[in-house]
Structure 1
């Protein structure tokens, strides 16, 4: 099959560089990205539809129930409630970013498994992110602290979630001593 070489540049001066597209630069799970699309697109759709990071769930257009929580600069934030235009220079962590680069689960993820705090699993990513936010602010949260988390679980796993957070605290303290 013959190739059409007429479309190829014949010398370096025939090449016109294309300027870098402007966009919104952000870091997601330690990796740099540039969003060049609609600045009003909610972060949730960027994560799920563009990056195929499907751990963060849609919990309604107002983000109630916490299924869509991610960490933005370490703070639990509704991914449906924040447009890409507000994320320039921000660092986002999704549930996929909790494990280390070798695939080892974060102690909180392991605690959720060990305590069977998963139920159907739909709300679990949001619980994990809200719990990370809590543990970033309070190293040894009380039951009352845990009860302030905004997440809903229709499977009734709240008691097991509380135990999982406490187990994670213990594991993280143990890891700090090692």
Structure 2
């Protein structure tokens, strides 16, 4: 399941192999271009006033997700944070012509970075309100900490990727056991 909010949260990249390397991808123009294009978001990179504001927004959302993954309920301050982020998000229906006839879609009166942050907050708020919170997880590899939505049948996934983090953690456990 691909979610705009999870892509945004995972812009706080850490080297899952344990080198200690860390990268704030919000500071990288090519990553931001990819993100905006992938999610068809109308924002101009030159209009970012301060990447620190975007990073603080991400870190606040990440903290909320970390509490949620740990089984903690949302605090009143968390709900107030979401409501403040969602307040400018207003939309209206718009009729347009397509190849197959007419289509009615919701469009936002917002644009630019305020729209981007409101859309991310809306996506995460919908996941927290309507999704199965037992499926929202953080990779068990302490070097990775990637946030993902567990789509396994029994909700037992522990790693963001079985081939990368999963194999690495199994090898580490095997080597520790055989020392």
Output the TM-score relative to the length of structure 1: 0.28
Determine which structure has greater relative contact order: mean sequence separation of CA pairs < 8 Å that are 6+ residues apart, divided by chain length.
2
